[in-house]
Amino acid sequence: MFRPDDAFLLLHWQNEVVDPQGTIGRRGGGAAILAAGTFDVLERALDAAVAAGSPIIHVVFTANEDGTCRSAAINLRASLATAFAPGSWGVRVPDRLRRPGDEVVVHDTMSALAGTGLTERLRNRGVVRLVLCGVSTLLVVAATAFAALDEGFDVTVLSDCCAAPTREAQQSALSQLEVIATVRTLD
């Protein structure tokens, strides 16, 4: 599944979003991710990426010190600004998703590629394809997939390593992504 010229991007797999105690996670998404076994599939994907020599990059959403972000569409309410404060528990990647040599990139926009310098770093490594997984499929995964396509990368979305607020939202997002990307399961 993975090749050395892939980069495996884990989008918003951070405590505030995926932990049932997180600000976003406690709205039901964290428990749903655990119940669906998504963490288990994601861990297998991580191990496959390591075995293939693909770089693993965690992209975490972080608010600015004043509780804002660059994207006007997602400027934060005060309650979320604290949850996504730089260096806080909320922006950390859960230990079970960390692998030796993985990287963490912070951003404050919808796309993982906007303003992060990640595009250039990936090109310098010879990356041809981005393998994406994330929360939420209809937001950060879709935005990153479209931006990656514009930047000339091939895109694969691992549907069983993604999550959205509802089953309908997940199916809608995946249907849209099938137009521009390879959408598949890990196995």
Query: Which of 17-21, 96-100, 111-115, 170-174 has the least mean pLDDT?
Result: 17-21
Tell me the C-alpha to C-alpha distance, in Å, between residue 125 and each of 51, 52, 64, 131, 178: 17, 15, 29, 15, 26
> Which residue type does 169 have?
A
Task: Give mean pLDDT, residues 79-87.
Answer: 79
* Residues near 55 by beta carbon (within 8 Å), at least 6 away in sequence: 7, 8, 101, 102, 103, 125, 127
Residues across the chain = 187
SS3 sequence, 157-177? EEHHHCECCCHHHHHHHHHHH
Full-prediction pTM beyond 0.85?
A: yes
pLDDT band at 158 (very low <50, low <70, confident <90, very high): very high
Element (DSSP H or E) covering residue 58: strand 56-61
